[in-house]
Chain A
Amino acid sequence: MLDNLLDFMPKIPISEATQSFTRWLTDTFAFLFDPIKEYFGDFMEFVSEDLLMNIPPVIFILIVAILAFFITGKKFGLAAFSVVGLWLIYNQGHWEDLMNTVTLVILASLLSIIIGVPIGILMSKSKIANTIITPILDFMQTMPAFVYLIPAVAFFGIGMVPGVFASLIFATPPTVRFTNLGIRQVSKDLIEASDAFGSTGAQKLFKVELPMARPTIMAGINQTVMLALSMVVIASMIGAPGLGKEVLSSLQRAQVGPGFVAGIGIVILAIIIDRFTQNLNKKKD
């Protein structure tokens, strides 16, 4: 009797609805998705294979080390770590995987920033946008990242492009949130000063709000890059090449050794990228 109380209506077809909605999206926006798949895929291939992989590893490691030296304020720590770490990855025969992963992470992060910063600005300016977008961001971050792989494949097939798409959804929220927060945190005094001298909205944004919010926004971008990196293993499930793919295949074959080696590669990359973005933030202060 009590059980029947909950059965007052048949199962709501949420999954069916989602299925058909995704299918509808795929069909309707094929004109959009197909060129993205084709051109963006070509572009990524170009970046990783024709650009990064054509740089001799020695030169690449040297460039990273020099950048690290100057970005940390002429200290040797990060530079030395980069040299040793990158050489280790090379030594283990994962250089090509590394280049693929770097391409995926950097492109996904760049897109996240290009999309995320303006949305964050919009949210800081509009109460309505803030109310609507906040729960969407919560949803994007809490939904298990694997779930994004399914529509990603439906839209873009397999390979790097759906990997970037899934990373994008997973990694954009911190940039949006921190941009929003950073602008809202700018002291009321400075906003008043800017207004009192007759600034336009754009002048206020570019001359006062964004420069003041920069450290906070950079912290968000750092988070975004780290999240994009954490997606490389998951994205490899839909055929994105790179270090993640090695981890995945080791898992499937239950080989601890190769899995560990590829995992170490990801950790080294993560540390280098993290310190780079953090120091980029400190540099001007």
Chain B
Amino acid sequence: MAVIEVNNLTKVFGKNSKQALRLLDKGLSKEAILKETGNSVGVNRASFSVEAGEIFVIMGLSGSGKSTLIRLINRLIEPTEGSILIEGEDLSKMDKKALRKARREKMSMVFQQFALFPHRTILENAEYGLEIQGIPKEERQKKAIEALELVGLGGYLNQKPGQLSGGMQQRVGLARALANDPKILLMDEAFSALDPLIRKDMQDELLDLQSTMQKTILFISHDLDEALRLGDRIALMKDGVIVQIGTPEEILVNPANDYVEKFVEDVDRSKILTAQHIMKRPETIYIEKHGPRVALERMRETGISSIFVIDNKRNLQGYITADDASDAIKNEISDLKKIIKTDIPKVEKDTALHEIFAIIHDSQVPVAVVEKDKLQGIIVRGAVIAALSGDGEVNLENAR
């Protein structure tokens, strides 16, 4: 069962929300509705579900409704229509008391501008969620300190937030959210206010923490690189509508429409695509049963100048060039082991494109993609360039 399940969630800002909803049903655009009713559509019938332990990134430009959407999930903004199921319970139908209970126990939020309480110490900030639940001081301090130690701030308990740097403040924000031990973390552009290096650190740290905590994380971002780094799945929003939901690869490789395509256009593909996306099936010969003649014949058939040699367990042994093969035939050498070259450039399946670029530049032969020494595929120079240009044939099947 999905931890968060959102159906048809809609927010219309303004007085005549009913009228605006009718117009939405008729399929009018956001601008048309604003003109007609004076209401602004924040989120337009968003539906998605987030599984336990998943990082689900909602991405869009400013004004796309992503911040409204995350606030609808914990009802900081009241939805106009639609349902929000948290572990099967409909949050949109809860009364104040039940809503408070859900906010206290099920989900915590991390804010873009940190939103720490400046009059409270770091420890008191981290305690806040537990304090309002009426948990005794000793117990809540213990939990808060644990959370602060988790984010590496165990030594700053009695400082005020104003004394810490931005990155450290957001760690406090994260610790405050974690102290409650909620199932769900709502992170609203949590790292956007940090400078790029710190941001990357925090992303790494979040992924690190996530590998042990297994929270369900809803992460808002306007930064595609961040979304691709963090997201198990990504939802792209535009004008309050979710345009596409998919894994990072799916979004990158098969943009649902022009908008998504435009969005992903500027992505540094060399950091996103990996060896497995551009490798192709290798031509191989077996070291035990084949000789130079077969090697040369294979190369002639497929129009290549070198061929990879494997053993019967698909372990990569080396390669043979066409020149060496024909020399061997002339000199009547039949054992491949005598002419095999072993200085093969090798990369793993998940090596990023920009690293392959440097390797392939110095290499006379295609780069071998291996997994535990077993040959998986090869990468030729042309494929790298094609993938970088964005029109290359990128093979998603390999990624599965």
Q: Do A and B bind each other?
A: yes
Q: Chain A interface: which of B106-114, B268-276, B332-340, B385-393?
A: B106-114
A17 to chain B, nearest CB (A): 40
A residues within 8 A CB of B131? 207
Interchain CA distance A77-B102 in the complex, whole Å? 55
B233 to chain A, nearest CB (A): 24
Question: A208 near B103 (CB under 8 angstroms)?
Answer: no
Q: How would residues 110 to 124 of chain B score, 1 for a CB under 8 Å from any chain A CB and 0 otherwise?
A: 010111111100000
Interchain CA distance A135-B225 in the complex, whole Å? 54
B55 to chain A, nearest CB (A): 19
**Nearest chain B residue, comparing its CB with the CB of A200:** B100
Question: B115 near A197 (CB under 8 angstroms)?
Answer: no
B residues within 8 A CB of A208? 117
Interchain CA distance A194-B115 in the complex, whole Å? 9
Tell me whether A3 is interfacial, beta carbon within 8 Å. Answer: no
A211 to chain B, nearest CB (A): 5
For chain B, the bracket of interface size reads 20 to 34
A residues within 8 A CB of B119? 211-212, 214
Question: A197 near B111 (CB under 8 angstroms)?
Answer: no
Question: B115 near A198 (CB under 8 angstroms)?
Answer: no
Tell me whether B342 is interfacial, beta carbon within 8 Å. Answer: no
Question: B115 near A192 (CB under 8 angstroms)?
Answer: yes
Interchain CA distance A49-B56 in the complex, whole Å? 72
Question: B128 near A190 (CB under 8 angstroms)?
Answer: no
Tell me whether A199 is interfacial, beta carbon within 8 Å. Answer: yes
User: Known contacts being A198-B133, A203-B132, is A189 close to B111, with CB within 8 Å?
Assistant: yes
Interface residue from A193, A198, A211, A212 paired with B104 (Cβ < 8 Å): A198
Interface residue from B114, B118, B129 paired with A197 (Cβ < 8 Å): B129
User: Known contacts being A190-B115, A192-B115, A207-B132, is A197 close to B103, with CB within 8 Å?
Assistant: yes
**Nearest chain B residue, comparing its CB with the CB of A284:** B119
Question: B104 near A197 (CB under 8 angstroms)?
Answer: yes
A213 to chain B, nearest CB (A): 11
Q: How would residues 166 to 201 of chain B score, 1 for a CB under 8 Å from any chain A CB and 0 otherwise?
A: 000000000010001000001000000000000000
A177 to chain B, nearest CB (A): 22
Tell me whether A196 is interfacial, beta carbon within 8 Å. Answer: yes
Question: B103 near A189 (CB under 8 angstroms)?
Answer: no
**Nearest chain B residue, comparing its CB with the CB of A190:** B115
B residues within 8 A CB of A214? 119
Tell me the chain B residues, 79-136 only, with Cβ under 8 Å from chain A: 99-104, 108-109, 111, 113-119, 128-129, 131-133
Question: A189 near B76 (CB under 8 angstroms)?
Answer: no
A194 to chain B, nearest CB (A): 8
B118 to chain A, nearest CB (A): 8
B residues within 8 A CB of A193? 109, 111, 115-117
B residues within 8 A CB of A42? none
Q: How would residues 282 to 326 of chain B score, 1 for a CB under 8 Å from any chain A CB and 0 otherwise?
A: 000000000000000000000000000000000000000000000
Interchain CA distance A196-B132 in the complex, whole Å? 11
User: Known contacts being A197-B132, A200-B132, A208-B117, is A192 close to B104, with CB within 8 Å?
Assistant: no
Tell me whether B74 is interfacial, beta carbon within 8 Å. Answer: yes
Question: B113 near A196 (CB under 8 angstroms)?
Answer: no
Tell me whether A195 is interfacial, beta carbon within 8 Å. Answer: yes
A residues within 8 A CB of B109? 192-193, 196-197
User: Known contacts being A200-B100, A200-B132, A212-B119, is A195 close to B76, with CB within 8 Å?
Assistant: yes
B residues within 8 A CB of A199? 100, 132
Q: How would residues 172 to 197 of chain A score, 1 for a CB under 8 Å from any chain B CB and 0 otherwise?
A: 00000000000000010110111111
23 CB < 8 A contacts A-B:
A189-B111, A189-B113, A190-B115, A192-B109, A193-B109, A193-B111, A193-B116, A196-B186, A197-B109, A197-B129, A197-B176, A198-B102, A198-B104, A198-B132, A199-B100, A199-B132, A200-B132, A207-B128, A207-B131, A207-B132, A211-B119, A212-B117, A212-B118
Residues of B within 8 A of A (CB): 71, 74, 76, 99-104, 108-109, 111, 113-119, 128-129, 131-133, 176, 180, 186
Residues of A within 8 A of B (CB): 187, 189-190, 192-200, 203, 207-208, 211-212, 214
Q: A189-B114, A197-B108 are known contacts; what are 12 more A-B pairs with Cβ within 8 Å?
A: A187-B115, A189-B113, A190-B117, A192-B109, A194-B128, A197-B103, A197-B128, A198-B99, A198-B100, A198-B104, A207-B117, A211-B119
